[in-house]
Structure 1
C-alpha cells in the first residue's frame, strides 16, 4: 500500500507546487505594481526594522492565514459550486502570493541570515530554475507572450476605432 501511496503523494505535491509556480508568474508583476503605487512608508520602515526571526514570523502570516483557502475552494468545487470554488481559489492564491512576494522583497536579506530558510530558499530556487528550463515552461511563456501581444494590438485597434468614431461625430 505504501508503494502506491508514495508516488501519488509525490504527484499531488508536484501539482501543488506547480500551481504556486504558475501563480508566481502572475503575482510578480502585480507585486511590483503595488510596490510602485502604494508607498506605505511607515509600514515598510517598520517591516525592514525587524530582526530575522520576527521577519520570518511576519513572512509566515499570509501563508498560515490564506493557505486553508485551497481546501475550502476544493470543497466548494466538490459540492457543485465550481465557479465559487474557482473564484475563491484564484483570489486566495493571488492575495497570498502577492503578500508573500512583497514581504519577501522587504525582508529577504534578514531571512537569508536564517540557515534553514536560506537552505530551503536555495532548494526552491533550484526547483524554479529546473521548471523554467523545461520545454513546457518555454511553450507556456511563448503562448502568454503571443496572447499579451494580441491583446495589446486589439486594445490599440479598439482605442483607435473609438477615437475615430468620436472625432467623426464632432
Structure 2
C-alpha cells in the first residue's frame, strides 16, 4: 500500500520544489537589493551575532508565519476567488523566500553546524539537484530567460521611442474629443 502513495507524493513534491525554485529565481534580485541597503546594516549585524540555535529559530519564523498562506491561497482559488488567492500566494512566497534566503546566507555556517538542519539541507539539495537535472526544468528556465529578455528589449524600445518623440505619447484628452466632435458635425 505504501508504494501506491509514492508516485503521487513524488509528483506533489516535484511540483512543490519546482514552484519554490521558480519563485526563488524571481526573488534573487530582491534579496540582492535588500542586502545592499544600509538601512538593514544594524539588523544584519544582530543576525550575524546570533548563535546556531537562535539562528535556526529566526530562520524558521518566516517559514512558520508565511507557509500557511499556501493552503489559504489554494482555498481561495478553489472557491472562485482566483485573484485574491494568487496575490496571497505570490506575496507570501516572495516574502518567505526573500527572507529565508537572506537569513540563510547570513548564517549558513551556523545553520549547517546543526546536525538535523545539515541533514535536511542535504536532502533538500539532492531534491533540487534532481529537479534541476530534468529536461522540463531546463526548458522552463530557457523559456523564462527568453521571455525576460524579450520583455527587457521591448521595454528599452518603448523608452527609446518615448525619448525620441516625447509629445507623441502625451496627447491631451480635450483635443481628442474636439476632433471627434468635428467629425460628427461634418
Same fold (TM over 0.5): yes
2:81 aligned partner: 81
| Partners of 2:17 and 2:131 within 8 A in 1 | no
Aligned to 2:175: none
The yes-or-no answer on 1:98 pairing with 2:101 is no
Aligned to 2:163: 163
Task: Determine the C-alpha separation between the residues in 2 that align with 1:31 and 1:115.
Answer: 26
Measured after TM superposition, the shift of residue 103 of structure 1 is: 0.6
Matches of 2:114 and 2:103, distance apart in 1: 16
TM-score by length of 1: 0.90
* 1:18 positional shift: 2.3
Once residues 4 and 131 of structure 1 are traced to their aligned partners in structure 2, the CA distance between those partners, rounded to angstroms, is: 21
Larger radius of gyration: 2
- Correspondence for 2:66: 66
For structure 2, list consecutive stretches of 5 or more residues without a partner in the other structure.
169-186
Provide runs of 4+ in structure 1 moved above 3 Å: 1-7
Correspondence list, 1:13-92, <5 A: 13-92=13-92
Equivalent pairs counted in the alignment come to: 168
**TM-score, normalised relative to structure 2:** 0.82
Aligned to 1:144: 144
Structure 1 residue 5 displacement after superposition: 4.0
2:173 matched to which residue of 1? none
Post-superposition offset of 1:22: 1.8
SS at match of 1:155: helix
Q: Which moved more, 1:31-40 or 1:92-101?
A: 31-40
Classify 1:132/1:153 alpha carbon distance in 2 versus 1 (closer, same or farther; 3 Å): same
What does residue 153 of structure 2 align with?
153
- Residue aligning to 1:112: 112
Point out where structure 1 has 5 or more consecutive residues left out of the alignment.
none
Please give the per-residue CA displacement for 1:71-125, whole angstroms capped at 9, x wherever unaligned. Answer: 1101111111011111111111111111101111111111011111112112222
Contact kept, 8 Å, 2:76 with 2:85, in 1: the verdict is yes
